[in-house]
């Protein structure tokens, strides 16, 4: 569904009931669907039960602080791309830098101008609407465009689907931070593109589903070759470049890896719905 102002949903997580009620009333009049939560844990549950289009988040909450909420939302595959705006009394420079370093969309301090907040919310939603077909980190096509391309392939005949699942990305992000994890994703996308430029005669369609899954659509007779190329080219580079642990003890604790799943699709026996269900099962 295309997000417009008339159907966009806003989740407000703020323990100040007066501010929560004021924002709820104001944005409902503007045509948004609004939910207000006063506790961090309840906000996380609400976000998972019905994923909002944007979250307005206070940092000082009675249980979890806003930083921890952002960390958990970014770590969950279902909520990692939900835009978040901090709305807080914490005005110190170090607080702003910490908040913005967590890949939130904006950091607004209280007291705030309600008209300015409305415009910032609108601008974030418009930006996400424009970028919804491509991944913000790798610029690869995202889920919706992938589904449309699968549908086109089904009309042409047999084709191959390959899912490359990047293992231990969450652990890597926890160890080295969001910036390093984003750079890793960009490097994986680049490695995949370079691999196929030299290994196959027709370039596959490469898309991204979430942060740690890359999906390729290719000619049916290239499926086995591409699977082999991924293992031969991508895995050794991951093993060499992205192994980490306790160097002082000369011990390896974690290592990124990949799992590759492949299937040749026959349009006579496979439907678009079944293909999507199968991919979602493998991803989750």
Q: Which residues contact 232 (CB under 8 A, 6 or more apart)?
A: none
pLDDT tens profile 218-269: 999 999 998 888 888 887 877 776 766 654 444 445 678 888 999 999 999 9
Asked if residue 42 belongs to a domain, the reply is: yes
In this prediction, residues 124-136 reach a mean pLDDT of: 76
Q: Are residues 118 and 15 in the same domain?
A: yes
Asked if residue 136 belongs to a domain, the reply is: no
Question: What confidence category does residue 3 fall into, taking pLDDT thresholds of 50, 70 and 90?
Answer: very low
Q: What's the CATH number where 276 sits?
A: 3.30.70.270
pLDDT for the residue 71? 93
Q: Are residues 185 and 248 in the same domain?
A: yes
- Cα separation, 230 vs 259, in Å, equals 10
pLDDT for the residue 234? 80
Q: Are residues 267 and 163 in the same domain?
A: yes
What is the number of structural domains in the chain? 2
Full domain range(s) for residue 225: 143-283
- Cα separation, 47 vs 54, in Å, equals 10
pLDDT for the residue 159? 96
pLDDT tens profile 56-84: 999 999 999 999 999 999 888 778 889 99
């Amino acid at each position: 569904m295309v997000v417009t102002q008339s159907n966009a949903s806003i989740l407000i997580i703020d323990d100040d009931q007066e501010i929560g009620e004021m924002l709820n009333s104001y944005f409902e009049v503007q045509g948004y669907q609004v939910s207000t939560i006063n506790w961090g844990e309840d906000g996380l549950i609400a976000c998972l039960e019905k994923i909002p289009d944007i979250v307005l988040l206070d940092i000082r909450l009675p249980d979890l602080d806003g930083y921890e909420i952002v960390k958990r939302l970014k770590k969950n595959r279902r909520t990692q791309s939900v835009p978040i705006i901090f709305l807080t009394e914490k005005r110190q420079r170090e607080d702003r830098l910490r908040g913005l370093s967590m890949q939130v969309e904006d950091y607004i301090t209280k007291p705030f101008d309600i008209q300015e907040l409305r415009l910032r919310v609108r601008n974030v939603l418009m930006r996400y609407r424009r970028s919804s077909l491509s991944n913000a980190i790798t610029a690869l096509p995202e889920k919706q465009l992938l589904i449309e391309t699968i549908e086109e392939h089904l009309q042409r005949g047999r084709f191959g689907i390959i899912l490359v699942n990047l293992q231990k990305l969450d652990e890597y992000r926890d160890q080295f931070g969001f910036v390093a994890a984003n750079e890793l994703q960009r490097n994986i996308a680049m490695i995949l593109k370079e691999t196929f430029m030299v290994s196959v005669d027709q370039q596959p369609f490469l898309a991204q589903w979430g942060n740690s899954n890359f999906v390729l659509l290719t000619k049916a007779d290239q499926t086995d070759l591409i699977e082999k190329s991924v293992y031969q080219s991508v895995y050794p580079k991951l093993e060499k470049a992205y192994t980490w642990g306790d160097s002082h003890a000369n011990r390896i604790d974690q290592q990124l890896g990949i799992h590759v799943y492949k299937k040749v699709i026959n349009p006579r026996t496979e439907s678009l719905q079944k293909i999507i269900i199968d991919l979602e099962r493998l991803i989750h």
